[in-house]
Structure 1
Amino acid sequence: MAGIFDTHTHFNDEIYKNNDIEISEIIKEANNNGVSNFCCVGFDVESSRQAVRYALKYPSVYGAVGIHPNNVNEFELSDLEEIDTLSYGQNVVAIGEIGLDYYYTPHDKDRQKTFFKKQIDIAIKNNLAVMMHIRDKDGSNQAYLDALEILKEKKPKRAIVHCYTRGYELAKKFIDLGCYLSIPGVVTFKNAKELQETVLKVSLNNILVETDAPYLTPEPNRGSINFSRYIVYTIKAIANIKQLNKNDVIEATSNNAYKVFKINH
């Protein structure tokens, strides 16, 4: 396998640093396992700065900058001026991860929505993709429905639902707006039946793959730190579900990544 694009990873996460894991080694091992490109994603101002640095340092790394919905109470709207500035960095391809999280922070929905809308505005102004984090309480779709309304209002040209794990009917609402679904290692979990059914029904033309490393480690390494090289298990799972050749899955998902990020290759 070769040519995989890990569209969402966090080289800027403290877990790697705290475990003395070198980013250059992560990239090298991923390259050896068929991963050719990476998008390092910010979640606050400092991690966004780091994402820009990695995108400058490593030719295969692209950057996304933004303030995560769980972190909006730590910042003022004026801090988005720096996100705007960072978005002009070399190889920055998206504003993210931004969005709505009613699972961990259901108490500040209005503030989340304001930050989400303002950051979509930055993406539209600077012709960048919108990379969305959307999470809700089990049994509720309200965060997703609110995100859909904001997308309809703002009309970004290119958007990604990062770490999609829900059902097909909800997925179709985002696809109908032109969004891509980014599939994480969760698809390898035995109990992820709803997501597996979604992957079966959704066209490869609408799918990206990601690790969300160092989180959401796929089987058979679930429970340990996640690395970009483990994305091969996600590719295999999608290929098995859709009864396709792994290389076809890689080609389609990577081409989708080039399109949504506007990367010439």
Structure 2
Amino acid sequence: MARIFDTHTHFNDPKYKELGITTEEIIKEAKLVGVDRFCCVGYDVPSSKQAAKYALKYDEVYGAVGIHPNEAHAINQSDLEEIEVLAHANKIVAIGEIGLDYYYTRDYVEIQKEVLKKQIKIALENNLTVMMHIRDEDGKVDAYNDALEILVKMKVKNVIIHCFTRGYELAKKFVDKGYYISIPGVITFKGAEELQDAVKKLSLNNIVVETDAPYLTPVPNRGKVNTSKEIIYTVNEIAKIKNLNKHDVIDITSRNAKKAFKID
């Protein structure tokens, strides 16, 4: 029987250390509900180094390294060079999370685009998946359209759209290019009808699951710190929406994750 693959989590987030929650504890508890693989994702150089270390330390853990778009304006060439070095580390399966974020400010749009392109180039040169963070102003899709334009222009084939929370028509633009849509615990939230409709209409062959822990804890534990064990609620909600057995959801999304990350 297949086990759940949490395709995007942050063991490297300082919140866990502040709360005294260890990575060993997170992995152990997650295994009890059927999770057996994790991708620990970086968002700047220090967290990417930590992600690479976790991938080496734990058999169940893989790593993604990259610089978050909200950090793009504050980096220099040496930071990108460090990401390029980390891309060669053992069990690094993606460059991420990288992307475009216009939610808080549009002051650095062009800088974000340039840093994104440089990191996509690292992914392409190392045959790694691109783990995309895309966030827009409410009601707008500029960041999504700009990101898709860059991905297509650079001929990127292997992409995960991390933490997707929008509707079907937008998801379909990425699915039509062969990209995977990653579903977080938001799917369980009251008011997530647009995302729930997208999941209902999307083929399970185009979906992977994630926690984005320690953030976005699903119902019924919303408001508490998120860990990988909570992903079972996301799986259950997808199964409910699509009227499928949860084991089928686990089997197919885990297979998709392994294919996306090019692992056995």
Q: Does the TM-score normalized on the shorter chain lie above 0.5?
A: yes
2:200 equivalent in structure 1? 200
2:51 equivalent in structure 1? 51
* 1:67 to 2:67 alignment: yes
State the Cα distance separating 1:105 from its structure 2 match.
3.3
C-alpha separation in 2, matches of 1:130 and 1:105 = 23
State the Cα distance separating 1:19 from its structure 2 match.
0.8
Q: Is the 8 A contact 2:181 2:207 kept in 1?
A: yes
Q: Secondary structure at the match of 1:217?
A: coil
Q: Is the 8 A contact 1:77 1:115 kept in 2?
A: no
Q: Is the 8 A contact 1:100 1:134 kept in 2?
A: yes
| CA RMSD in angstroms, aligned pairs only | 0.9
Q: Is the 8 A contact 2:2 2:254 kept in 1?
A: no
Cα deviation per residue 1:19-57 (whole Å; 9 max; x = unaligned)? 111110000000111001000000000000000000000
State the Cα distance separating 1:104 from its structure 2 match.
2.0
C-alpha separation in 2, matches of 1:157 and 1:142 = 21
C-alpha separation in 1, matches of 2:75 and 2:250 = 38
1:138-217 correspondence runs (5 A): 138-217=138-217
1:247 equivalent in structure 2? 247
Given residue 129 of structure 2, which amino acid in structure 1 is its aligned partner? A
1:85 equivalent in structure 2? 85
TM-score, length of structure 2 as denominator length: 0.99
Q: Is the 8 A contact 2:2 2:251 kept in 1?
A: no
Given residue 51 of structure 1, which amino acid in structure 2 is its aligned partner? A
Q: Is the 8 A contact 2:214 2:225 kept in 1?
A: yes
1:15 equivalent in structure 2? 15
State the Cα distance separating 1:210 from its structure 2 match.
0.1
TM-score, length of structure 1 as denominator length: 0.98
State the Cα distance separating 1:2 from its structure 2 match.
5.6
Q: Is the 8 A contact 1:41 1:64 kept in 2?
A: yes
C-alpha separation in 2, matches of 1:93 and 1:79 = 19
C-alpha separation in 1, matches of 2:50 and 2:104 = 24
Structure 1 unaligned blocks of 5 or more: none
Q: Is the 8 A contact 1:70 1:105 kept in 2?
A: no
Q: Which runs of 4+ in 1 moved over 2 A?
A: none
C-alpha separation in 1, matches of 2:178 and 2:65 = 21
C-alpha separation in 2, matches of 1:23 and 1:58 = 10
C-alpha separation in 2, matches of 1:121 and 1:65 = 13
Cα deviation per residue 1:132-155 (whole Å; 9 max; x = unaligned)? 000001010000000010011111
Q: Secondary structure at the match of 1:43?
A: coil
1:258 equivalent in structure 2? 258
State the Cα distance separating 1:263 from its structure 2 match.
0.2
C-alpha separation in 1, matches of 2:108 and 2:6 = 31
Q: Secondary structure at the match of 2:107?
A: helix
Q: Secondary structure at the match of 1:144?
A: helix
Alignment length (residue pairs): 264
* 1:6 to 2:10 alignment: no
State the Cα distance separating 1:73 from its structure 2 match.
1.9
Task: Give the percent of matched residue pairs that are identical in Structure 1 and Structure 2.
Answer: 65
* 1:76 to 2:70 alignment: no
1:133 equivalent in structure 2? 133
2:96 equivalent in structure 1? 96
Q: More deviation in 130-139 or 77-86?
A: 77-86
State the Cα distance separating 1:74 from its structure 2 match.
2.0
Given residue 31 of structure 1, which amino acid in structure 2 is its aligned partner? K
